[in-house]
Structure 1
Amino acid sequence: MKQGWEYKKLGEVCHITMGQSPDGNSINDNEGVEFHQGKTCFGEQTLGVSNLFSNAPVKLAEAHSVLLCVRAPVGYPNITERKICIGRGLCALYAKEDIDNKFLFYSLLSKQSHFEKNATGSTFKAISSKVVSNTEIPIPPKSTQLAIVSELDKINELIRLKKEQLKDYDDLAQSIFYEMFGDPVENEKEWEVKKLKDTCDELFAGGDVPKNNYSKTKEGNYIYPIYTNGIVNEGLYGYTDIIRVNKDSLTISARGTIGAVFKRKANYYPAIRLITIVPQDSLLDLDYTMFALKGICIEGAGGTIPQLTVPTLKLYNIQVPPLPLQRLFAQRIEQIEHQKSEVAKAITDLETLLASRMQHWFE
């Protein structure tokens, strides 16, 4: 234990309020107290705004409380700057001793694996009030708390700025596309237009993951990535010894939040909820096609869950500007991607530093 520090249970140093859902009839969109059931509106550190309210709240979290997810997923903290109504997925911790609420936030953040290990339930993992109350955190002098918070906040701010920089590069790339080619729907520059099916060597939907030929990690012959819906982490599912696409190509997410387009290196296996596109080299550059598809308003068909189908996508119109102009655009995109990779590396380094400093202070 560091000199001048002590360890105490959360139940000793915080008022803990376990959430409870209000009557369903009290939930509305404009009257009463803002209602949060789980982490849907969580930000990096500070709670966002919900569009739900309760005019008969049961459990309240006071302003400047630290919220903690206690039902799947468990262990995620956030700070609320205002009084809110909380449901069963959350609990609120309000420090009753001399503890800075941002320091309490970082303390809980460092305990995420602890909460996950102590969660129970087969279908939905949850942590009990007893687990929360008995969890110990280090408590240094207030001046030390503030110094720790300042250090960690500075690293987080640098990470935030770098992520903003990545977004700026994405916006720049899109801006260059519109400057060179115009709106891909309006086609004000009057480029030649073709159906997507007439500009591709391949356009097909992904299939089921090969049952007996894959692993979640690279093991033995399992070296080729499997991609699923390209929304989270570019949809990486696992690895296989089977190659279905042996050329650089594009994939489009085809179900749920549809329309996310990713460029893929050759030799991979596309799984369900993905459509793979291999443009004809003589007509379309890969980078140009990716940005053109991003600019097309892709509207999925289907009931509750929108879907994009291969027959629908084949009939989409795509502009076909001169290939040298497309390749000039690709060169500019390559330069931007190089800059993005440098920024992404800086983010990784900062996140490693943050994890190291968190471990230093809280473990």
Structure 2
Amino acid sequence: MKENKTKPDIRFKGFTDDWEQRKLGDVTQIIMGQSPDGSTYSETPKDYILVQGNSDIKDGWVEPRLWTTQVTKKADVDDLIMSVRAPAGSMGKTAYNVVIGRGVAAIKGNEFIFQSLIKKDIEGFWKKITTGSTFESLNSNDIKNSNLLVPVNEEQIKIGQYFSQLDNLITLHQRECNQLKELKKTMLKKMFPRDGSNIPEVRFAGFTDDWEQRKLSEVLISLQNNTLSRVNLMSETGVAKNVHYGDVLIKFGDILDVSKEKLPMISDESILKKYKASFLQNGDVIVADTAEDSSVGKCSEIIGLNDEIVLSGLHTIPYRPVEKFASGYLGYYLNSSAYHNQLIPLMQGIKVMSISKSAMQNTYIIYPKLEEEQAKIGQYFSQLDNLITLHQRELEILKNLKKTCLKRMFI
């Protein structure tokens, strides 16, 4: 907050008065949570919804997870819920009457207050005043004595209405994005054969033949991966592009379109000769062989290659099909539960899981004999991914708009 600033950069027409500095505790009631006895907790929907902390809030709203028979401190419908323990300052609302534990506080505030507190959280205000070296927390005085600059009630209402509408748009796109992701997850289960079957549960019309089942070693041949880590790579220029296992796990999806992704570059020209036989081609797949969870085995199928030289990097296994597959089929199949469930018993490790090339050799690849059916499956999931990406982009645009508006419409 700029020193002595009393007016925001952007205002609704008709409002010109200075904003007034007040203590949060003077403009609203704050109720610190108190946890019920642990013996009263239940995971069965009954009695009173218990809000313990930020884990009970999803997309800005309380999402029932635990219940209790003991009423300690309460929050009412539409109250604001602030997390007072790590992450201290995170905000939400409740659409239910709930019992609040010691990890949260209830605030009887309007939409303007809610958005003001979100702004404080985004700007890191609460982190500066939290106490505790290993477990950050806020106490009652921290919250009550925090300063707010507030306009007259009419302007508060206008600002609150604007941000409420913006939040509704964000929620709508978030919900649609989540629904599409759930649809994709469901169809990945239903459109590939499972449990020893040779036909899928859901299939495009006109296809009736049994699917082919072959060992991975008969369908895919492994290429040599390079051992260069990120410290050996340049970010802008070089002689070849590198796909690191972390990119496969986190950044890239079932399909990696090289023409659309910015990949780290390898600067050492000696790799051109050393790994020449392993330059990737369209249709090759890269499998991450290491992860901190059961996402080991996540795969990306390479498309969009032109004249670029691309190599599979550290902690990856690159494979090349020995027969022709329709674009996209392998990428989606190898990330489906139908295939991934074969990998789970083969994973090794405690904190870091891994899977070896030799262990994967005897897993089975299942696919339609007709390339036309493979193509239809690949196209279906590609269209789903495009819709998901579209909603994610819209979501990011709206979230960035909100950040800008919070910065310029509040002080």
The TM tier, using the shorter chain, reads 0.7 to 0.9
* Residue 196 (1) aligns with residue 216 (2): yes
Correspondences of 1:156-175 after superposition (within 5 Å):
156-166=167-177
- TM-score, structure 1 normalization: 0.74
Quote the residue 1:130 is aligned against: 141
Q: Which residue type is aligned with residue 371 of structure 2?
A: P
Once residues 315 and 278 of structure 1 are traced to their aligned partners in structure 2, the CA distance between those partners, rounded to angstroms, is 14
> What does 1:1-363 correspond to in 2, within 5 Å?
1-2=6-7, 3-4=16-17, 5-30=19-44, 32-50=47-65, 52-95=66-109, 100=110, 102-112=111-121, 113-166=124-177, 183-185=193-195, 186-188=197-199, 189-202=209-222, 210=229, 213=232, 218=235, 226-228=244-246, 247=280, 249-251=285-287, 256=293, 258=295, 261=298, 263=300, 266-267=310-311, 269=313, 276=317, 278-280=319-321, 282-285=323-326, 287-293=328-334, 294-296=336-338, 298-299=340-341, 300-301=344-345, 309-310=355-356, 314-322=361-369, 324-325=371-372, 326-327=374-375, 329-331=377-379, 333-334=381-382, 337-338=385-386, 340-363=388-411
- Please tell me whether the aligned partners of residues 329 and 377 of structure 2 are also in contact (alpha carbons under 8 angstroms): yes
Distance 2:292 2:142 in 1: 38
* Distance in 2 of aligned mates of 1:199 and 1:87: 56
Look up the equivalent residue of 2:58 and give its one-letter code. G
- Identical residues among aligned pairs (%): 22
Asked if the contact 1:174–1:291 (Cα under 8 Å) also holds between the matched residues in 2, the reply is no
Give the drift of 1:16: 1.9
AA at the equivalent of 1:44:
D
Aligned-pair RMSD on alpha carbons? 4.4
Q: Which 5+ residue runs of structure 2 have no aligned equivalent? A: 1-5, 8-15, 200-208, 254-262, 303-309
The Cα shift of 1:44 comes to 1.7
CA contact (8 A) 2:292 2:353 kept: yes
Higher relative CO (CA 8 A, sep ≥ 6), structure 1 or 2?
2
1:68/1:178 CA distance change after superposition, 3 Å:
closer
How far residue 110 of structure 1 moved from its aligned partner, in angstroms, is: 0.9
Aligned CA distance change for structure 1 residues 201 and 122 (closer, same or farther; 3 Å): farther
Contact 1:205 1:276 in 2 (8 A): yes
TM-score (ref. length: structure 2) = 0.67
Question: What displacement does 1:66 show?
Answer: 1.0
Alpha carbons of structure 1 residues 93 and 318: separation in structure 2 relative to 1, 3 Å: same
Structure with larger Rg? 2
Contact 2:229–2:244 under 8 Å retained in 1: no
How many angstroms does 1:42 deviate by? 0.8
In structure 2, relative to structure 1, the CA distance for the partners of 1:161 and 1:29 (3 Å cut) is closer
Distance 1:203 1:11, change over 3 A: farther
Q: Which amino acid aligns with 2:156?
A: Q
Listed as ranges, the gaps of 5+ residues in structure 1 are none
Q: Say if 1:46 and 1:81, in contact at 8 Å, map to a contact too.
A: yes
- Measured after TM superposition, the shift of residue 77 of structure 1 is 0.5
Deviates more, 1:13-22 or 1:23-32: 23-32
Deviations 1:185-238 (A, max 9, x none): 53224111012344333499999x9596589xx5898x8565449776669xx9
Give the number of aligned pairs.
348
- SS, match of residue 73 in structure 1: coil
Distance 2:329 2:102 in 1: 48
